[in-house]
Amino acid sequence: MNRVVRTMSEARAQLAAALASDDRGSGSVLALAVVCGMLTVAAGGAAVVGAAAAHARAAVAADLAALAGADVAGGRVGGVPCDVAREVALVNRVELAACDQLGMVVTVTACERYLGLDASASARAGPPDG
């Protein structure tokens, strides 16, 4: 009986020693997982920053296009308000999605594609209200 207990004790000791020595290389796997996680977060952050920049470019282009259209609608510059607004948007490398003129007020919506999505912004320009 003593031999069986001793054998079980030896077996447990051998198993514990084997399990303790099996963690070699786990630091490399952990480091690789951490690096992959950091790259994923960085890529996501870059996408968010790029989308914000695309929206800012669309907003600036919409502002400029609306102001140019309002100048035409107010008679300061010759031409058709929405045509001039579209030209200004194209110069700023965005697409003019919509343009409406009501009297001397011009409202435009500009879009820029980023990662297959539209970043859009609207702007309105005209004479000041009373």
Residue 91 domain flag: yes
Angle, helices 81-91 vs 26-73, to 10°: value is 150
- Residue 8 above 80 pLDDT? no
The pTM of the full predicted model, rounded to 2 decimals, is 0.70
Are the C-beta atoms of residues 69 and 96 closer than 8 Å to each other? no
Residue 17 domain flag: no
- Give the number of domains in the chain: 1
Residue 25 domain flag: no
Residue 70 domain flag: yes
Instruction: Determine phi and psi for 108, rounding to 5 degrees.
Output: -130, 155
Residue 10 domain flag: no
The band of 27, judged by pLDDT with boundaries at 50, 70 and 90, is confident
